[in-house]
Amino acid sequence: MSLQGAVGAEELIFYVNGRKVVEKNADPEQMLLFYLRKRLRLTGTKYGCGGGGCGACTVMISTYEPASKKIRHYSANACLLPICSLYGMAVTTVEGVGSTRTRIHPVQERLAKCHGSQCGFCTPGMVMSIYTLLRNHPEPTSEQMTAALAGNLCRCTGYRPILDACKTFCKDSVCCQSKANGRCCLDQEEDLFDREEKESVGLFSPDEFQPLDPTQEFIFPPELMRMAENQPKRTLVFHGERIMWISPVSLDELQDLKAAHPDAPLVVGNTGVGPDMKFRGVFHPIVIAPARIPDLNVVERMSDGLTIGAACSLSLMKDVLRNAVSELPEEKTKIFCAVLQQLRTLGGEQIRNVASLGGNIISRKSTSDLNPILAAGNCMLNLASQGGKRWIPLSDIFADGVGNNTIMPEEVLVSVRIPHSRKGEYISAFRQAPRRENALPIISAGMRVLFEEGTDKIKDLSIFYGGAASTTICAKQTCQTLIGRYWNEQMLDEASRLILNEIVLPDSAWDGKAEYKKTLIVSLFYKFFLEVLQSLKTMDPCHYPGIPMEYESILEDFQTKMPQSIQIYQNVELSQSPQDPVGRPIMHQSGIKHATGEAVYIDDIPSVDGELFLAVVTSSRAHAKIVSVDTSEALKEPGVFDVITANDVPATNEFHYSDDPEIIFARNKVICVGQIVCAVAADSYAHAKQAAAKVRIEYEALEPVILTIEDAIKHNSFFEPKRKLEHGNVDKAFETVDHILEGEIHIGGQEHFYMETQSVLAIPKGEDKEMDVYVSTQHPAFIQEMVAASLGVPANRIMCHVKRVGGAFGGKLLKAGLLASVASVAANKTNRAVRLILSRGDDMLITGGRHPFIGKYKVGFMKDGRIRTVDAKYYINGGCTPDESVLVAEVCLLKMDNAYKIPNLRCWAYACKTNLPSNTAFRGFGFPQSGLVTETWITEVAEKTGLSPEKVREINMYKEDEQTHFKQKLDPQNLIRCWNECMEKSAYYSRKTAIEEFNKQNYWKKKGIAIVPMKFPFGLGSRYLSQAAALVHIYTDGSVLLTHGGIELGQGIHTKMIQVASRELNIPMSYIHFCETSTTTVPNACASVGSAGTDVNGMAVKDACQTLLKRLQPIINKNPKGNWKDWIKEAFEQSVSLSATGYFRGYDANMDWEKGEGQPFTYFLYGTACSEVEINCLTGDHKNLRTDIVMDIGCSINPAVDIGQIEGAFVQGIGLYTMEELKYSPEGVLCTRGPDQYKIPAVCDIPEQFNVSLLSSSQNPYAIYSSKGLGEAGLFLGCSVFFALRDAITCVRNERGLKKTFALNSPLTAEQIRAACIDDFTKMMTNDESSSSIPWARMHET
């Protein structure tokens, strides 16, 4: 068919939340997410990454199939769904599920009441994933529930409360029954924790939840049913600005289209082509959408296998295979089972629901999980073109691409045949990824062997790998050579060598994992070898002995289970008034709004008339002179309004807070990749982005380019001042100790990965140079100051507003100020409102994160484990501008002792100046790095002395009232209480014995356990940084408006402030409202940083409320029986002022760096965490089994919020120490720019048993209501997982007789774990031709 046939463009018809949408000018480039947000103004669906990797934009799609009369509901990522693919479908967004205006849905209610939202940005996506599951399975199993959330990320909560909400819908009572007497864990909570009356478990009461009633949901629109049943299917054509979308309805038509447009891609789920066009600059003028063609959707069972259409989704394929496996004899379904194994962890549910089988095969991506197993399983492809049909083996498209066997451009993949397995045939699929779920594999593999009947003699063998080359690759010669061999260790030995020789990895891989990939390639073959041996034994136990008992556990992969958890906190006193909310687990004030999508973030603010969108143009060089910037092409692009450069900044472009400036726009040179050079303002985000790509910048390289700490040391490139702390006589002490150890540890950086990217909306008011700036920041006063300085106006003309922030963790301070200035300068020049919302890739590229770190140490100790002296040097990679780096270095020094008394100490800290984007504040602020160094040498001292690590920790812990190394007093009694209580609650010693027993009985899997104490000093260093103010208004109807300088980042500060006001004014919380934080109501507020928000703002709110109450007291005394409203009315009539400000001067603090002493901190928090892990020595994979945390946080103002903070910080710590890896190219370009490459913890990473208890009866005279500021402290405890992994690795090395000392860096990824578990496979890497053989029986004896 020629395109002339389809002249007029179609109307696109679909439904959203039960309402019909008719789009006359559907643009194929428009994704559903932006259509919902910008066209339909449904802003509940959030932009988190734009690549289907985070789940923030999850929606439910419903389709009707007239043939079967079935309605299908599935979840999908709106950011990848082209609106053109939705013809005849119904979309449900979070607004359609429920709202506070109509009714809230049980999913929304329970998520909120179980405290499953903190910043709330990921919550709508969570709601939609759970809601869709419940539409399909009203009583899901816990496996279905955890699977449904595998594609959703949350950076705040650590997932536990979200899963608690989910459990309330599951039909299987979630119980571990792992207690010795087989009683339910819930009966045993009593014994487990010998709880006193005063303690409470459970942060919510399920009896107040409304029941789930499936009859109350939206029905599928009858009009769409009629359309599907009555309208003859016809070709749809949509013309966009740059792209034409054609959706044919028959195979013949598709063949004609492919003949006319051989280069046009076929798009079904857009999960392959979409990201390519979005992130990799690929462009296709014509896109063909074949999803409506029946031939491509067939599912057919044949006598010899299954045929599945190329347009079938992976979820459908999964269901089809699962049914086949349940109905057919086991012998026939081995390929099906192996494919199912890969489908279980491929992407998240949202991706599997739309991604097609054909797309997976045709894209020939190296990282495909399916292609290796489909190729090894002898699957056949059914191809069609105008020239006819043909069948080819799938493996041929991965051969050398010989002649007619590869697919021709005009050919279409119609369907795939997956054969039944045969007798004597064994098939397995394997994968190892940076995270167990929703992550592309590092290596995937498919292996199949067929034996001659009744023997173990190889008749046919196929081995395919993914991840090793540019596409799936076959070990062809190896397979041919091994035919006729017997399945024994000689064959294994020969095969391992042959595979390594045949599969050559490109060394240039940016991820630098070549060594690990090679190890995996042979390790996975070894695992296959063991699986087949075990299967042979099952078939004929007389002939085949199988594998040694202690090898059997390796055949089981780690599974994600629904975690169990217990939270313990202190009940409020019985004497406390029921109306007084302090100390109770109160739900986050915005919790329900988070869950309904009604909570407004910056990009949810409705568009202003004539508003412009900004896209930034960033430097592609790490250190270079800007020769020229050519914007002429960009200005010709459609919709472009202007280009903003440094020349457009009216006043300050460079801020000198110290010697080196912070810069808004680069002017003459660039000092890192990702520095902003200019920005394009256009009428839509897409136009701005397209034009930004057309800006041409010419550079001239400058020397030196310094990227690493090592480079900085070599070039002596540091930010001043360098800091030093010394205490005692270090050199003399080294002469008197029994042993000295030296070492160094490298700790990688960490990306904040707040779910809401940096966002600014600047609106010029049109007179007096006033401007409203709405910005996602932790520090509005600073934004006001920077914007005013850059525009050259007084601060009183700039009104900065923040309602809530979608996560920050330290990343929305200085960088938010620079970006707000970029947007404000653009708004000033164009005199229009300007919206700047960074894409996830730009955000990660531009903003920097936690400082990469190198710690070098020399430790002197006695043979009884007492540490006498330490000499340490810390280097942090500050990036290209000072930001907070020197302060971070100082905190590294002040907090490096952690929980230990070190009599003699000398430590230096250097902030390195490099050509990376400037690193900045991040939760924990230096302590997570220097604390890890300290715990590392504690562990090494234990290894050297032969004592256990916990003994060395106990020996050196602060014992009585003592002084820190900078002469501040501390009372460590609660540190010791936390340690002892955690020891007891975690049953540390009995579990340690059980682990030793497990490790004796398992060779390839090992468990480890570690318990780590923490002292976390609280304080901001100087008094003026912790001042705070509040403003409280009482209106004549008795309602109260509360404002203060703190920012809601998800830590529940507004909720706590309302609790404080409720107690002080003695009125219910429902009378009090908090609107927004703004520089117009509370001026000069300090940043919400350093765990101090509640401490300081709470004092200010209390002060204001007390002032008001004092004024009201005479009226109350006159009419004690009256109520609040009467008193307020009376007060107004007596002309009593009903508005008051409150103020808190801040905590006194000082530090003299010359003398090395001072009182920089106000008080100390204490905690202890015990974690247990299990590792897989063949792949390096690990599972977090259990964590127990005991924290001293004084008297909690809100236990639900506080426990949520501890868990969230802990899981962020798991990310820092075991998973999150930033990769840069040798030119200084960040390669990990989104959730695809950068893995934060997901549901599968949290401990299976996760217990948190708050230390009882702890007082803190310094803070409001005896509480403690705890936002950051829990993060460091994540290193208990790091040391539990180290414990497991130590066990492996001891068993194998390897040398005792070994270094582990952070993050301790699977790659490092595998490399530390040295065996004959890793030895083959260092010496490929080595002659040592690999008889597994001998390995077993050593």
Q: What does the DSSP 8-state code read for residue 918?
A: P
Cβ-proximal residues to 1201 (8 Å cutoff; 6+ apart), any chain: 115, 585, 586, 588, 1051, 1052, 1055, 1056
> Which among 861, 872, 869, 961 is positioned nearest to 908, based on CA atoms?
872
DSSP assignment letter at 1139: E
For residue 775, list its beta bridge partners.
760
- The amino acid at residue 1168 is T
Identity at 1204, one-letter amino acid code? G
727, two tokens: 């205490």
Which residues are CB-neighbours of 441 under 8 A, at least 6 positions away? 367, 369, 431, 432, 433, 466, 467
Q: If we measure between CA atoms, which residue out of 646, 601, 603, 609 comes closest to residue 831?
A: 609
Its sign, for the CA torsion 1258, 1260, 1261, 1264, is negative
d(CA 321, CA 332): 12
Contact present, 1086 and 1027 (Cβ < 8 Å): yes
Are 936 and 757 contacting, i.e. CB atoms less than 8 angstroms apart?
A: no
Residue 167 tokens, joined: 């459990």
DSSP codes of every residue in 1224-1250:
B-TTS-B---STTTS----GGGS-SEE
Q: What is the dihedral of CA 807, 811, 813, 816, to 10 degrees?
A: -80
Alpha-carbon span 748 to 706, nearest angstrom: 17
**If you search the block for the tokens 């002596």, which residue do you land on?**
716
Q: Strand pairing partners for 678?
A: 617
Identity of residue 977? R
Task: Report which residue type is found at 1279.
Answer: C
DSSP string, 161-197: HHHHHHHTT-SS------STT---HHHHHHHHHT--T
Count of residues making up the chain: 1342
> Which of these, 1071, 1304, 1280, lies nearest to 1190 by C-alpha position?
1280
d(CA 993, CA 906): 38
Say whether 10 is catalytic: no
Is 1176 within 8 Å of 526 (Cβ atoms)? Answer: no
Torsion sign across C-alpha atoms 518, 520, 522, 523 = positive
User: Which entry of 95, 425, 935, 1272 is annotated as an active-site residue?
Assistant: 1272
- Alpha-helical segments (H) within 866-907: 885-894
Residue 552 burial (CB < 10 Å; 0-12/13-18/19+)?
middle
- For residue 37, the 8-state DSSP code is I
Backbone φ, ψ for residue 129 (5° rounding): -65, -45
Sequence-ordered alpha helix ranges (H) in 793-895? 814-830, 840-847, 885-894
The amino acid at residue 106 is: P
Largest CA distance in the chain: 104
| 866 C-beta neighbours (distance < 10 Å), count | 16
Q: Is the separation of the CB atoms in 1275 and 923 below 8 Å?
A: yes
Amino acid at 923: R
Residue 763 amino acid letter: I
What are the b/e assignments for 1048-1081, b being 16+ CB within 10 Å? Answer: bbbbbbbbbbbbbbbbbbebebebbbbebbbbeb
Q: Return d(Cα 46, Cα 125) in angstroms, integer.
A: 8
- By C-alpha distance, which of 682, 680, 683 is closest to 842? 680
Residues that are catalytic: 1272
